Amino acid sequence: MTAITRTYQVPGNDFARAGEASGHIKRILKELGFSPEMIRRVAITTYEAEINMVIHAGGGTVTATISPQAVAVVFEDHGPGIPDLELAMQAGWSTAPQNIRDLGFGAGMGLPNIQKYSDVFEIKTAVGQGTTLSVTIFAEGKEPI
């Protein structure tokens, strides 16, 4: 199998459609026969990042590159950026408003979870310009969850 790439446009503040990109990526991985542990790690990572994009950034672009060895996903938005990345990486810290918490999100676990379940985690952010999050999950990566 050669690497395949899929790109998704994620609309902002649309909670009926949030998760569509992650669901599609997950179905591709299932069809390709990746292990359940690998698929779950990718699913949690991409879903958390997609939800973040919908909540905080007004949407953005998700690009997934899938090879037998790894799944690399880039989340790019042109939202407000993250003013204090160190704070945002702390478990339990969140800026999500009450209406988002009412949906079951905003526990401040998004970025820590993404880092926890990915093998490579890189985030570039600038206030007023946006955020680019790049993650890679290797087929033979972290311990199974």
CB-CB contact of 41 with 117 (8 Å): yes
Q: Which is nearer to other proteins, 20 or 124 (CB)?
A: 20
Is 115 among the residues that bind other proteins (CB under 8 A)?
Answer: no
CB contact at 8 A, 21 and 50: yes
Q: Does 108 bind other proteins (CB under 8 A)?
A: yes
Does residue 15 sit in helix, strand or coil? coil
**Please, which residue, 26 or 56, has the CB nearer to other proteins?**
26
Cα separation, 48 vs 52, whole angstroms: 6
Q: Shortest Cβ distance from residue 126 to other proteins (Å)? A: 26
Q: Quick one: 18 or 72, whose CB is closer to other proteins?
A: 18
Q: For residues 46-75, which are near other proteins according to CB under 8 A? A: 47-48, 51
Q: What is the DSSP letter of 34?
A: -
Two tokens, residue 94: 């969140």
| Nearest-angstrom CA–CA distance, 127 and 84 | 9
Q: Contact residues for other proteins (CB under 8 A)? A: 15-16, 18-19, 22-23, 26, 36, 40, 43-44, 47-48, 51, 103-110, 112-113, 116-117, 145
